[in-house]
Amino acid sequence: MHKIPVGVLGASGYAGRELCALIQRHDGLTLAYATANSQRGETAELPRGGHVTFDAADDVQLGSAALVFSALPHGASAEWVSRARAAGARVVDLSADLRIGNGASEGIPYGLTELRRERIRGAECVANPGCYPTSALIALAPLFEQGLIAPGATVHISAASGVSGAGLSPRLDLLFGEVTENYRAYGTGNAHRHLNEMRALATEYGADVDLLFTPHLLPIARGILSTITVPLGRPLEDLMAPWRERYAGEPFIELADALPELRHVAQRNVVRIAVRGVAGVRTPTIQVFSAIDNLMKGAAGQALQNANLMLGLAEQTGLPA
Ligand SMILES: NC(=O)c1ccc[n+]([C@@H]2O[C@H](COP(=O)([O-])OP(=O)(O)OC[C@H]3O[C@@H](n4cnc5c(N)ncnc54)[C@H](OP(=O)(O)O)[C@@H]3O)[C@@H](O)[C@H]2O)c1
């Protein structure tokens, strides 16, 4: 079978390595190049086997790939996206540079696949969502779409992530001794950069809500669990109905009776969701619990899901459900 050549920029990072590993096992894709910055010239083992050698981005023919994944840091990515597009390649950008709410997204679909599938299919460029926003927005979208949230309400998103969410760059506060056997909030004050895209999507749905987002750091490598507290305009008779109706037949959305746990989603390209009612408050309120693997559905897996659509391949190809 003819395989479509794809390239990965920033392949030596956490998201980039996951992408290379997924591409190596993909029936319809072949890795044309994988680039790195400080690790250029090095060969690395990939998750789940195989290895890859990193080239300098300046040394590769960007246009030798039909589609380029940019897993570069914010700020560095946009310029490489432009270069890849000028060379004739489609692009999935994993950075925040082109996402809604970040000022540079006109005409570029926001790659929350289950919510934007028809815009992503055949697109030249897609802005892959952030990891926290993937967990929160897939959980909230049915409520936005069906106008179920109390007008003017504050929706509290309390979420905890493993340390790979911060990338590979060395940082004192992410040393093993600072993280292990510990748990703490960060990015407090409702100013985390992921709020931009979460607010922008809520606005697209016309939702009259405030989002109050508090991230926490878990002493594990990967996974995000979000606990989202939502005041409703009226009580729900069947708590799971909005999600069952919205996500019927979706292969990567798992609706669960039991509360989602990170071990349920590790290494998988899924969002696992459960809903509970809340007692002892005057406004009818629910809590939505959402778990993802930040490197899979939160980054590389969703990027590949979008790339499959952009290239006319079956959406599930090469993805661990
Ligand atoms: N980690 C996650 O859970 C996650 C989730 C969703 C989205 N994202 C986004 O995906 C992108 C990659 O994230 P990551 O966690 O994989 O980051 P990372 O581990 O820090 O990797 C960054 C990659 O970019 C390269 N790089 C760094 N600075 C560069 C520069 N100035 N110019 C060119 N290349 C440079 C690095 O090369 P060297 O290592 O060789 O220096 C590495 O390959 C980021 O935009 C991030 O926000 C990450």
Do 302 and 282 fall into the same domain?
Answer: no
pLDDT category at 104 given cuts 50, 70, 90 is confident
- The answer to the question of residue 318 being in a domain is no
319 within a domain of the structure (yes/no): no
For residue 18, pLDDT over 90 is answered with yes
Answer yes or no: is 316 within a domain: no
Distance CA(210)–CA(195), nearest Å, equals: 10
93 plus 10 within the same structural domain: yes
Do 135 and 274 touch, CB atoms closer than 8 A? no
118 has pLDDT over 90? yes
Tell whether 305 and 289 lie within a shared domain.
Answer: no
- Integer Cα distance of 131 and 125 in angstroms: 19
Which residue ranges have their beta carbon within 6 Å of ligand 1?
10-16, 36-39, 71-74, 76-77, 94-95, 130-131, 164-165, 167-169, 294-295, 298-299
Looking at the structure, tell me whether residues 99 and 157 fall in a common domain. Answer: no
pLDDT confidence of 222, banded at 50, 70, 90? very high
**At residue 105, does pLDDT exceed 80?**
no
Q: Where residue 264 falls among pLDDT bands split at 50, 70, 90? A: very high
How many angstroms separate the CA atoms of 146 and 133, rounded? 19
Instruction: Tell me: do 251 and 219 sit in the same domain.
Output: yes
Please name the amino acid found at residue 183.
Y
Neighbours of 223 (CB within 10 A): 27
Number of domains into which the chain is organized: 2
20 carries an active-site annotation: no
* CATH number for the domain harbouring residue 135: 3.30.360.10
Q: CA nearest 23: which of 8, 45, 44, 41?
A: 8
Clarify whether residues 125 and 135 are in a common domain: no
Query: Both 120 and 151 in a single domain?
Result: no
- Number of neighbours of residue 43 by Cβ within 10 angstroms: 9
Mean pLDDT value across residues 295-318: 98
Q: Could you identify the residue written with the tokens 């005057």?
A: 282
| Burial class of 164 by CB neighbour count within 10 A (0 to 12, 13 to 18, 19+) | buried
- What does the alpha-carbon distance between residue 29 and residue 82 come to, in Å, rounded to a whole number? 22
* Domain membership flag for residue 277: yes
User: Strand 90-93 and strand 4-9: pairing?
Assistant: unpaired
Are 188 and 235 in a shared domain? Answer: yes
- Residue whose CB lies within 8 A of the most ligand 1 atoms, among 33, 72, 164, for a mutation test: 72
Note down the domain range covering 55.
Answer: 4-129+298-310
Same domain, 79 and 96: yes
What percent of the chain has a predicted confidence (pLDDT) above 70?
100
With the most atoms of ligand 1 within 8 angstroms of its CB, the residue from 8, 12, 52 to mutate is 12
The reply to whether 277 and 303 lie within a common domain is no
pTM: 0.97
Residue 317 domain flag: no
Task: Establish if 320 belongs to a structural domain.
Answer: no
